[in-house]
Amino acid sequence: MAPQRQPKSKIPNSVRHKVLCLRLDQYSYSDIQNRTGLSRSTIAGIIKRFRTTGTYHDNPPQRQKKLTPHLLRRIRREVEKSPRAPLADITNSSQLNIHPSTIYTAMKKMQYRSRIARAKPYHDRQSRRVRLEWCKLRKRWGLMEWRNRIWSDEVVVQIGRNGKVRVWRRKGTAYSPRYTILNFSDAKLSVMFWAAIGYNVRTTLTPIRRRGRHERTGPHDHGGLNANQYISDILEGVLLPFWREIHGWMGDMEFMQDGAKCHKARKVLSWFRRRRIVLMPWPPRSPDLNPIENCWQLLKKRLAHRWYKTGRRPKTRAELIQQSQEEWDRISQDAVNNLVDSMLHRVKSCIRLRGASTKY
């Protein structure tokens, strides 16, 4: 039977102090050993502790940490597997007898926070390739080329629904596909608007009326914007006078519109050819490359701030149109110009991400 090891006896602080004093008085390790009865290794340990920590006292006993590296890796796998799961589900799925507050502390330690998921369009391989080629053709453009374009789009201002979803992610990963969601809206009150912007210019915010039943072409026509209405109400009514005002033909300017069905209709493209307005090629599902999308964000933020400050939201369509047009006119032109100039960074970011969605 192996002999049992004797338990270590605690060395009094007075003995430790005596060892240090003797060493400071130039006593050798052998002399200190003879005077204190301690082994050379113990004497060396006391002196080393004093040199490294500045004290000869023992460290106070510490409680064993629950957040071990193994536990942190296990929690991280659960978060990466289900970034939209609530904290309680992550706690249950980890199958550990740990309080949710400990799980939350672990996620904070790994720099995970509960943040609102960004909504971004889905990009397949084909759309990413088209976006990448579009950006590569324009990566050498300067500010003058981008300032010579007019950007247009439609937006829906709605009241009655908040589609925010929270996900667990790290800082800098807001636009990763696994942390974004698709947007669906079913607001009680909504109005669609059209507008166009450029450097130092912009149109008025134009509401798009909903077509009556006598104007609809079939059972699947729900009264939204179609090619005929786009030509009569938007192109002829707003864009053409605006184009004449900014002398678009003389400046060799190009007009940008996305790939909506009403924009790509034959009669619409024929209208642009007759009016000698050059259309800018546009990649599919690329709102992040259109600076007017950020103008819509500014507009909606201003409306939300206005409703919060007054404590009252519009009750009718006419009131919503009036307030939206007022806030649109209050957006500074400098902010619009900065968005147009940001095209340099948007193109570089899209090329760097190989055609994936950017942060814009």
How far, in Å, CA of 173 to CA of 167, rounded? 11
The answer to whether the CB of 291 falls within 8 A of the CB of 143 is no
pLDDT in tens, 214-239: 677 766 666 678 888 899 999 999 99
The answer to whether the CB of 198 falls within 8 A of the CB of 192 is no
Please state, in angstroms and as integers, the Cα–Cα distance from residue 149 to each residue in 61, 185, 281, following that order.
Answer: 70, 31, 11
Top mean pLDDT of 73-87, 98-112, 297-311 is at 297-311
Nearest alpha-carbon partner for 10 in 65, 58, 74, 82:
58
Low-confidence winner among 72-81, 136-145, 315-324 (lowest mean pLDDT): 72-81
**CB neighbourhood size of 333 (10 A):** 12
Q: What is the pLDDT at residue 165?
A: 65
| pLDDT above 70: percentage of residues in the chain | 87
The answer to whether the CB of 151 falls within 8 A of the CB of 341 is no
Cα dihedral 127, 131, 132, 136 in deg (nearest 10): 150
Nearest alpha-carbon partner for 113 in 176, 175, 169:
169
Structure tokens at 9: 């006896």
How far, in Å, CA of 23 to CA of 56, rounded? 13
Q: What is the pLDDT at residue 182?
A: 47
Q: What is the pLDDT at residue 344?
A: 94
Contacts (Cβ under 8 Å, ≥6 apart) of 43: 19, 23, 29, 32, 33, 36
| Core vs surface per residue 13-28: b (16+ CB within 10 A) or e | eebbebbbebbeeeee
Please state, in angstroms and as integers, the Cα–Cα distance from residue 126 to each residue in 120, 131, 261, 278, 354, following that order.
Answer: 17, 9, 19, 26, 12
What is the C-alpha end-to-end distance of the chain, expressed in Å? 74
Whole-model pTM: value is: 0.67
The answer to whether the CB of 189 falls within 8 A of the CB of 228 is no
Amino acid in the structure at residue 184 = F
Q: What are phi and psi of 222, to 5 degrees?
A: -100, 10
How far, in Å, CA of 347 to CA of 140, rounded? 10
Residue extents of the structural domains in the chain = 13-53, 69-110, 125-352
278 - beta bridge partners? Answer: 254
pLDDT in tens, 173-191: 877 777 776 443 444 688 9
Q: Check residues 134 and 168 and name the one with the higher pLDDT.
A: 134
Q: What is the pLDDT at residue 88?
A: 79
Q: What is the pLDDT at residue 98?
A: 78
CATH no. for 125-352: 3.30.420.10
Low-confidence winner among 47-56, 91-100, 207-216 (lowest mean pLDDT): 91-100
**CB neighbourhood size of 344 (10 A):** 16
How far, in Å, CA of 320 to CA of 159, rounded? 9
The average confidence (pLDDT) of the chain is: 84
